[in-house]
């Protein structure tokens, strides 16, 4: 109980200190008082873009940059940069899925002197962008951010225009419409004016273009399906969402006051732990017959862990258990570059796999995907293997399925025997709802508030903070153990204390050195493998006396290498590429991006 109260206190202290911390500004700044963006849609699907960005500098700067994000298949070409008020040179830099135009500014033609500290500069960019027009079977579409959310500072006013190939269009939208101050058609060109757009916000234009305006759209993004009705429906949904938001804004302060008691009530009703009769000081043996993976998922991650969900220590403990069961053997060999390779080899004796649990068998399958032509699993090479995005995704998929299968088979059917998660579920649902409501108001509601902006701002921040606290509160704080589960948790905590405390181990040493194999496996599941191995070294200082594969795996870097490799692979798999499949919602258009000064 005390640990829970301390955890809640730490979370509250951290979040409120972050909210109240002061920020220190640089001794230089700049503004963008005005920008113009002109789009010229060609009948071949190409868009010619002309942008003029005005800068007012206060302090010493070296130049400016323009980041242009590109969706899959898009490209920019025929780039030109010119400057009014300074001399320049520029370069194009590839940055993953976007391109950066970096412009260096000088006060002299020789390009040796920096611009003055109060310079007034206009930078003009022109370029052509391909595949930014979508051509469906029944309609064409432009969906383009006239101003992107990635700019470092606000633009104080924006003039824009969109010129269509042959004539004006009848169906078009602005997202979000609040930025629009005026629009006017002049032939096939629509002239647009927008007020200040703050950093982090965007302003986009979307229009349906009759296919008759395109002669040979070889530079358009073709999508082989009907698009008109879907696009109209998306925009109707966006409009309806905004109406719903306005209604929501009017009742938010009341919601904040009423709902702030929900997480507190959930903890008081469902989070307080039951009393138990167990009062042991330590456990010298593993207190239950549960597998290392089950121990990791239930008791191995401390107060912050999610009950029933294994982490990478659980996967590593399973590998070590397979080594301990002789399913795999471990050896070292000299590599061609003179280093030592750490190698796992699968035991071909079928009898070694008899009695394996389903999650152990699945782990064997995952490990075997790393075999080379000689049926060796070279641990040193797994990291390079997983640096490939496709390999990383395959591994992450297998790892996620492994965790899911374990939860469905070993935890979900029996969870009520160990843990009651009602309070945690209530907190998480409340947290998600509170954060979404708070962010929506902060981003879209404040510009509409006039008389009581301070009250609305405080309500929004309060709701977001309470939501974050509820969302990050560990499941073991929001939920509670059953009496059986808490007893087991206390016993495993005492076993963990025993393994970590050298004085206890020295006073009550294991009956047999071999039992350290099992101890190391469970220490890994409990997240204390390094400390236990150090205690082993003090009790058994000579590695020559104790050269088991489990010990070698931990002490010779196998554990560290595999943890680094697996985490790198999962991180690589989680990153994603931009798509260009059409049907984007508000904020999903091409163009946009941002820029800044350096």
H helix or E strand, kind and range, residue 516: helix 515-525
Residues of the chain with pLDDT > 90, as a percent, come to: 22
Look-up of token digits 């496709």: 390
Name which of 20-29, 219-228, 357-366, 388-397 the model is least confident about. 20-29
Backbone Cα Rg of the chain: 31
**pLDDT for residue 373:** 87
- DSSP character string of 11-49: HHHHHHHHHH------S-EEEB--EEEEEEE-TTS-EEE
Residue 343's Cα: distance from chain center in Å?
33
Rounded Cα distance, 220 and 204, in Å: 19
**pLDDT for residue 592:** 66
Which residues share a beta bridge with 127? Answer: 49
Q: Is 297 helix (H, G, I), strand (E, B) or coil?
A: helix
Interval 403-417: pLDDT, tens: 899 888 888 888 888
Q: pLDDT band for position 582 (50/70/90)? A: low
Rounded Cα distance, 171 and 597, in Å: 37
**pLDDT for residue 25:** 39
Nearest C-alpha neighbor of 222 from the set 585, 581, 590 = 581
Residue 377 has pLDDT above 70, yes or no: yes
Q: Is 534 helix (H, G, I), strand (E, B) or coil?
A: helix
Interval 336-347: pLDDT, tens: 766 778 888 998
Residue 281 has pLDDT above 90, yes or no: no
**pLDDT for residue 513:** 57
Residues of the chain with pLDDT > 70, as a percent, come to: 81
**pLDDT for residue 451:** 42
Nearest C-alpha neighbor of 274 from the set 496, 495, 4 = 4
Q: pLDDT band for position 184 (50/70/90)? A: very high
Q: Which two tokens stand for residue 460?
A: 């929004």
Residue 385 has pLDDT above 90, yes or no: no
Name which of 87-96, 161-170, 245-254, 354-363 the model is least confident about. 245-254
Rounded Cα distance, 347 and 559, in Å: 20
Interval 424-470: pLDDT, tens: 888 888 888 888 877 876 765 555 544 444 556 677 788 888 888 88
Find the mean pLDDT for residues 225-252: 80
Q: Which two tokens stand for residue 130?
A: 């391909």
């Amino acid at each position: 109980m005390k640990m829970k109260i301390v955890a809640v206190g730490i979370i509250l202290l951290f979040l409120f200190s972050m909210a109240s911390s002061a920020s220190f500004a640089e001794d230089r700044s700049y503004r963008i008082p005005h920008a113009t963006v002109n789009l010229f849609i060609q009948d071949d699907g190409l868009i010619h873009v002309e942008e003029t960005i005005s800068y007012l500098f206060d302090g010493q700067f070296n130049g400016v940059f323009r980041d242009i994000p590109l969706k899959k298949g898009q490209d920019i070409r025929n780039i030109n940069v010119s400057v009014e008020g300074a001399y320049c040179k520029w370069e194009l830099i590839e940055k993953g899925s976007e391109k950066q135009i970096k412009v260096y500014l000088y006060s002299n033609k020789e390009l040796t002197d920096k611009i003055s500290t109060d310079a007034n500069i206009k930078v003009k960019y022109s370029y052509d962008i391909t595949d930014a027009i979508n051509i469906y079977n029944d309609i064409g579409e432009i969906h383009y951010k006239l101003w992107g959310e990635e700019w470092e500072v606000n633009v104080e006013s924006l003039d824009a225009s969109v010129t269509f190939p042959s004539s004006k269009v009848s169906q078009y939208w602005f997202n979000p419409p609040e930025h629009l101050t005026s629009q006017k058609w002049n032939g096939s060109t629509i002239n647009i004016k927008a007020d200040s757009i703050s950093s982090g916000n965007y302003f986009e234009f979307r229009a349906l273009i009759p296919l008759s305006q395109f002669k040979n759209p070889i530079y358009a993004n073709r999508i082989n399906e009907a698009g008109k009705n879907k696009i109209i429906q998306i925009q109707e949904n966006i409009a309806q969402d905004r109406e719903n938001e306005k209604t929501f804004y009017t009742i938010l302060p009341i919601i904040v006051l009423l709902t702030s008691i929900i997480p507190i009530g959930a903890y008081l009703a469902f989070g307080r732990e039951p009393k138990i009769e167990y009062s042991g000081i330590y456990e010298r043996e593993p207190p239950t017959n549960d597998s290392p993976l089950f121990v990791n998922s239930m008791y191995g991650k401390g107060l912050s862990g999610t009950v029933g969900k294994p982490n990478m220590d659980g996967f590593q403990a399973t590998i070590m258990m397979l080594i301990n069961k002789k399913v795999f053997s471990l050896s070292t060999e000299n590599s061609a570059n003179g280093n030592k390779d750490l190698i796992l080899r699968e035991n071909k004796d079928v009898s070694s796999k008899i009695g394996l649990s389903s999650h152990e068998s699945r782990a064997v399958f995952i490990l075997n995907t790393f075999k080379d032509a000689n049926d060796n699993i070279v641990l040193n090479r797994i990291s390079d293997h997983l640096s490939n995005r496709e390999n990383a995704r395959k591994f992450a998929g297998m790892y996620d399925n492994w965790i899911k299968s374990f939860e469905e088979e070993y935890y979900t059917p029996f969870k009520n025997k160990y843990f009651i998660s009602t309070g945690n579920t209530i907190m998480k649902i409340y947290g998600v709802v509170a954060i979404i409501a708070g962010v929506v108001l902060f981003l879209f509601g404040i510009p509409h508030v006039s008389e009581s902006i301070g009250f609305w701002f405080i309500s929004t921040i309060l709701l977001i903070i309470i939501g974050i606290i509820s969302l990050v509160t560990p499941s073991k704080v929001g939920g509670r153990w059953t009496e059986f589960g808490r007893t087991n948790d206390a016993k495993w905590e005492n076993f963990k204390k025993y393994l970590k405390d050298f004085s206890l181990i020295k006073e009550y040493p294991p009956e047999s050195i071999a039992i350290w194999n099992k101890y190391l496996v469970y220490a890994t599941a409990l997240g204390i493998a390094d400390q236990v191995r150090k205690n082993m070294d003090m009790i058994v200082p000579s590695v020559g006396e104790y050269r088991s594969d489990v010990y070698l795996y931990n002490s010779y870097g196998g554990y560290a290498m595999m943890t680094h490799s697996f985490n790198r692979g999962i991180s690589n798999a989680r990153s994603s590429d931009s798509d260009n499949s059409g049907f984007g919602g508000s904020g999903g258009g091409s163009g946009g991006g941002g820029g800044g000064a350096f």
